[in-house]
Amino acid sequence: MITQSVSTVLVLGLSLLSFAPLCFCGKTNGGYLYPQFYDRSCPKAQEIVNSIVAKAVAKEARMAASLLRLHFHDCFVKGCDASVLLDSSGSIISEKSSNPNRNSARGFEVIDEIKAALEKECPQTVSCADVMALAARDSTVLTGGPSWEVPLGRRDSRGASLSGSNGNIPAPNNTFQTILTKFKLQGLNVVDLVALSGSHTIGNARCTSFRQRLYNQSGNGQPDYTLQQSFAAQLRTRCPRSGGDQNLFFLDFVSPTKFDNNYFKNIVASKGLLSSDQVLLTKNEASMELVNKYAENCEIFFEQFAKSMVKMGNISPLTGSRGDIRKSCRKIND
């Protein structure tokens, strides 16, 4: 009798443990996100995402940064709910046409390919929001960055917010204070801001994103003198006063396809490409200390980047019965 009750307690304890949120779980409205969410319903989910992301990044190194950015642009608008993936239709006005995303957000075809493979393996099980969170992690790892367990269980939104996309996503020419405020509105702090900005260690920016630094930073016809002048002169050759808007430049010119801490070293050397990169050093004491710390120690940067990515991935997800599991990431279910 005693043995039986002890074993019952043990079994009960263990079964409760299997549902307990382990280390990387975020408490969200309506339930927990946890890394084992698909272990039974779609055990190959992570493997499928990883193999398609790996193929896409091997074909085009830039895709890693694009997929990472897509997750960021999703989470900052109504939470991590795959709203950024919806095309315009009926009452939905797509976030793809917002200022931060127009001619800029990319990687949608890779997400489509992942989703099609997942639908074949386990129909209507894995959300588009979770696909983006996993693709962001895999893109980081594939380019040499840190890994982390991705909490899962997000569901997909039934709508989009063009105004949210225009208003909530930090812009390259925003002041430090505006950028920090946009992060704080999402429950993120200055440490998250500096660490997540480190994702600019990979990827490109368009001439239009930093032109004002080269010619007219404060509206007085003067360049931004916090930009190292010979570097600025080099940039002007391919980013003229007018024209060349879509010309691409590496965000980290030292190791543009490797996820490392050169982004921070560049900022310390006054060679951050965007104004939003350089202000991390010049406009705030706390962020300046963090930039210097990450420039000196890649390991500390990697550790914080992983933590901040989990935190960002926990912004207001739809869980439980809220939202849907979309069949196609581009449109809401019929």
Whether residue 83 is annotated as binding a ligand: the answer is yes
Whether residue 324 is annotated as binding a ligand: the answer is no
Whether residue 200 is annotated as binding a ligand: the answer is yes
Contacts for 233-239: CB closer than 8 Å, 24+ residues apart: 235/210, 235/273, 238/207, 239/207, 239/210, 239/211, 239/214
Whether residue 74 is annotated as binding a ligand: the answer is yes
Q: Give CA separation, 211 vs 171, 235, 279, in Å.
A: 13, 9, 16
Report d(CA 160, CA 95) in Å as an integer.
6
Residue 63 contacts residue 110 (beta carbons within 8 Å): yes
Whether residue 149 is annotated as binding a ligand: the answer is no
Q: Is 71 a catalytic residue?
A: no
Whether residue 79 is annotated as binding a ligand: the answer is yes
End-to-end C-alpha distance for the chain, whole angstroms: 55
Rg (CA), the chain: 21
Whether residue 252 is annotated as binding a ligand: the answer is yes
**With the C-alpha atoms ordered 113, 115, 121, 123, is the resulting torsion angle positive or negative?**
negative
Helical axes 285-296 vs 298-313, angle rounded to 10°: 120
41: left (phi over 0), alpha (psi -120 to 50) or beta: alpha
Whether residue 245 is annotated as binding a ligand: the answer is no
Q: Give CA separation, 321 vs 119, 149, 154, 262, in Å.
A: 20, 24, 10, 43
Whether residue 223 is annotated as binding a ligand: the answer is no
Whether residue 170 is annotated as binding a ligand: the answer is yes
At 224 the three-state DSSP class reads coil
Whether residue 192 is annotated as binding a ligand: the answer is no
Please tell me which residue in 69, 73, 78, 96 is annotated as part of the active site. 73
| Binding-site sequence positions | 74, 77, 79, 81, 83, 95, 170, 200-201, 252, 260
Bind-site residues for heme b: 200
Q: Which residues are catalytic?
A: 73
Would you list which residues are annotated within the binding site for Ca(2+)? 74, 77, 79, 81, 83, 95, 201, 252, 260
Annotated binding-site residue numbers for substrate: 170
